Structure formats: C-alpha cells, structure tokens
Structure 1
Amino acid sequence: MSILTLENVSKHFGKVRAAHEVSIDIRAGEVFGFIGPNGAGKSTTIRMIIGALKETSGTIYFKGEDIRKNSHYIEQISYVPGDVNLWDNLTGMEVINFFMEMRGFKDQGMRDRLIKKFRLDPSKKCKTYSKGNRQKVALISALLSEADLLIFDEPTTGLDPLMERAFHEEILAARDAGKSVFLSSHILSEVEKLADRIAIIRDGEIIETGRLADLSHITRIEYIIGSDDDLAFLKDKPYVHDFTVEDGYTHLMVDNDKIAEFMAAVGSLRITHLVTEPPKLEDIFLRYYEDKS
C-alpha cells in the first residue's frame, strides 16, 4: 500500500525549476531514501509534501487522497528539517512535552528512553543548546508520535557518530513497527544503511528510482588482482576504468553489465589473489552525475 505518492509534481519560481515533474511512491513500512547534492530540489519537494509550498503543477496523494482536499493529512506526519529552530526560553523537556501533548502521545517511558539514548540534558533551555542538541530535541519529538510517515531532511547534521547510530536504530525500529520513513540526505552512506528503496534527484528532476540492486546498471565493481601474468592489456578494454598498480596488485573498476566479458578475459590467467568490492550507493550516485554532466 502506498502512503505517499507524488505524480509529476513541479515547483517553478519564475524561470527557475526547483522541482520538475517529480514522481515518487512511498510504501507503508519502508524507508525511502531521497538523495542528491545541496540545491538539487530535495527540500523544495519536502516543503510541497508538508504543504509549506504549493506545487506549480502535479498532485500529491497521502494514503490515496489529494492533500489539497484533506488538510488534516498533516496530522499523520512528523517532520524534522535540516536546520532546527526551537523556543529559546523553553527547556528541551518542555519542547518535547509540548509536542507530545499536541499529538496526544502519552508514552513517557518511551520519552525517557529516547532522552537517555540520545544523551540529552532536557533541563537546559534551548538557547543554550548546540546545533547537535537542538537536532536531538527535534528527532526525539518526531519519534514520540503515532504518525504514519516520518520525514527527515538531513537529520544527522550536527550529530556525532554515536548519536547517528542511535538515530539509525530508531529509524529501523520505526520501520519494523509499520511506519514509513522519508529520508532526505546528501550523506550517501547513511541512506545506503537505512533505505529499502532510493530516488536520486538532480537539478530538480528524478533520474533514478529503485532498490540499490536495481541500480547496479549505472555502477562499477572494483577488483583487486594479483597475478603472475601481465595484466596491462586490460587497460585497453572499454569496460575497464581506473587501472592502477599498487604494491604488486592491480586495481581496476569494471562496468557491472560487462562482468561476464571481464571474467572471460582473465579466465586463462594465473590469478594468485582476487578481491571484489560490491557496488556502493556512492559509486552509483557519482557515476550517474558524471555521465549526465
């Protein structure tokens, strides 16, 4: 079942196309990664989803219903922006409790567990918090709800690696509990760890959508080879890239859809060492941008 669907959604500011004919579909109980560099159109798309911007064209559906015909859909969404602003004279606990009360969420045990897990001092006023601590307040508040869709825009900005891991654990727990997560980020390793499916946005347009495995056609696999034979002939193969020799081992990248040809080419060689590195989201992302630039 789809929880959020965008059909050819565009947002133009005069001649500037911040988002153009964006179509994505987020299913119930999945983490959907939304990746692209800063300025690619991620935040503009999110602002249209939450109703902060009106789309120039296209339609956004929440649980199959046009959001323009049901303003109450937003009550089923928790959203954390990349740059969090809080009320300076309230404490972290007062902010968290305010959002809990506003949503009718009463699980104080979960609240206390998250505060402890994220190592937040909730007694301090928000004006004294660092960017990372403000982010913690927002993340904890978002998780303390019955929302069916959690939207995070660059959520780990300002968090140290330990707190990033805590956030990742809570996202996966939310997914396992049946919630949907829309995770917008330019941190590719984060999306790779969490996302069931991804969409890549470039210059306001979606250029790829699918599971990581589905996008392997635009990536390359790294091979590290030791051999008693001369491997220099591989440099001339059109599917081989970044050929280097280091410490007696040959390093090269091979187009994923040409693996069979590559293996045939090296099949008769005296291979003494062979290591492969599987395709990573970062390789897919950078390769696609290179090919389209």
Structure 2
Amino acid sequence: MNFKKIFLLLIPLLTFLCIGTMLSNIESGYADELLEAHGLTNNTRYFRTDSDESVSSFLRYLDKNYKHHQIQLHLDSNYEKDQVLVWANHSVKSLPTESGRYFSPDDFKGTISFAVLGPATKTNLLDVQNNKYVILGQHYYSVIGEFKDYPQVEMNKYYLSTGIDQPTAKDQLKNYRIVVDGAPNVISRIAKHYNAKLHIPSFVQEHHRDRLSILPDLLLMLAALVVGIVGNLLLATIIKRQAKLTHLHGDLLRNWVINRSVRLFMIEGVFAIAVYFFLRWHAFYSTYSSLRISLLASWIIYIVAFCIMLRYLVRKDRKVARITK
C-alpha cells in the first residue's frame, strides 16, 4: 500500500473527527444556552409584584385558570440569590445532568420538595448513606440530580421543586422574580392579573442576536463532508488503476475490485466507530444518537460516492474498449 493511499485512507478518519467535533460545538452551545436559561425557551418573560400572596396561592391561580396551557415557572429568590424554585403544570424542559436527573411533572404534585444542584453550589449540604440533602432551616430537601459542569455558564445555583402543597410554596410571591415560560398571550394575562410589567430575560436577548452563531460550525461540517467525498473519489480511482495492473479479467477482476472495496468500507466503518467512542468520552452531546446518525450518514455518503465513481470509471473503460475495437 503506497503512501498516497494511506494518506487518502486517513482522510475519512479526520473528517469523522471534524464532523463529530463541530456537532459537539453546536450542541454544547445549545446546552450552554439552556443552562443559562434554566431550561426555558425564547417565549420566557419575567415580572415582579408587591403582592403578599403566597407562592402556593399563585400556583392555585395558575392551576385553576390555565390548566390546559403549558406553563413553566422559575422563581428566583430575592434573598437567597442562588436559589430557584421550579414548577410546571405539564412537561419540563430537561437539562443535562452529570448524575441523577432533572425534575419531572410528578415532582411538583406531592408534598415533598426535591433539589437539583449546580456543580459550584455552595448551599448547606448533608451526606447521609450516599444520599445528599440540601438543608435550609428546619427543612431537608433530597438531591435527585446534579448538573454537568460547563465553565462558560455560572452554575452556583441550586433548584428546588415547588408545588401547591410543598413547603417551598409557603413564602410570599413578592420575595421572588417570577420567570414564566408559556404562550405569549398567557404570560401577558398572568402579568396583567398582578398589575405587573413584563421584561425580557437577558438570555432571550442574547439568543436573538446570536442565532446564526452555529453557521461556521455547519459550514465546517459541510466542508469536512466534501473533503471526505473527494478522498473516496480518489480512492476509487486508485483501486480501479490497481485493478488494471493485476491483468485479471472477468469474474476474477470483479471479485478483486469487490474485495478491495469492501475492505475499504470496513476500514472506514471502523474509523467511524472509533471516532464515536472517542468523542463520547471527550465531547458533549445532548443525545448520542445525533453523533451516531451524523457518523453513519457520513460513512454511507462516502460509500455511495466511492461506488458512483467506480461505476463511472468502469463504464468509461468499457466505452473506450468498444471504440478501440
């Protein structure tokens, strides 16, 4: 195997790495955005109120009037700066955790509050028989999950579930910044009910400005794919040229080409699998299925490009042979 062929064989490996890395950059950007937003969407708005109403009464109001609307709340404490109360009436936007899990809808229905921690949380913690608890006064909150550590995002907060019958809902509403995610008309009606003015969170404003920030990564992924295709086109040319040098004919020649081609596909497949496991340990993905699909799709595209080129060269040779006769 000559140096040129070895070099061309390494191209798919490098392009698989590039595609997987760019995909990780894109997903990490989204994950950072989600973490900064505490799992909320671009519809999110916040307001403050001077109401002495309890959080529990506020949740009853939402449950009564907006039962069929999807709402998610984060109540940022004015006094416990790192504390956030979380509530949702239908589904919760999940966040990536290093261990355990994020909240589920069932966590807001009972009488017990749970906690999810950021990696830099400095709140009072207690470890008992491999179980962690957040201690606030006389209350103990079981820790069900801990976020992944991302240096670009401030992760010193801790999150507590809240619900109508939970101890975290006893405080007054005026002690929180009320962050609401839901349909815009629903959010407006809620704010109007409390005579409050809506504001746009900073993460929403930043996202509106930076929504094209993934374009360079997408272009690099496309460029890597093109390079991989070109590499396989050249490999098809080399294999066809080597086939001529064997002086084989008929079924022997066909089997020789098939054997070399299948061997090439297997090598590139092994490269894709190796890159998959390497990036699983060295890069972030919200779901590993996105990495699997990207690498598999790239591998198939490379194979198709190789086969098309090989078929073109074979037909070209046959045409030349007919002309010379």
TM over 0.5: no
For the pair shown, which has the larger CA radius of gyration, 1 or 2? 2
Higher fraction of helix: 2
Choose between structure 1 and 2 for higher RCO, CA contacts under 8 A separated by at least 6 residues: 2
Shorter-chain TM-score: which interval? under 0.3
Task: Return the TM-score normalized by structure 1.
Answer: 0.23
Higher fraction of strand: 1
Task: Return the TM-score normalized by structure 2.
Answer: 0.21
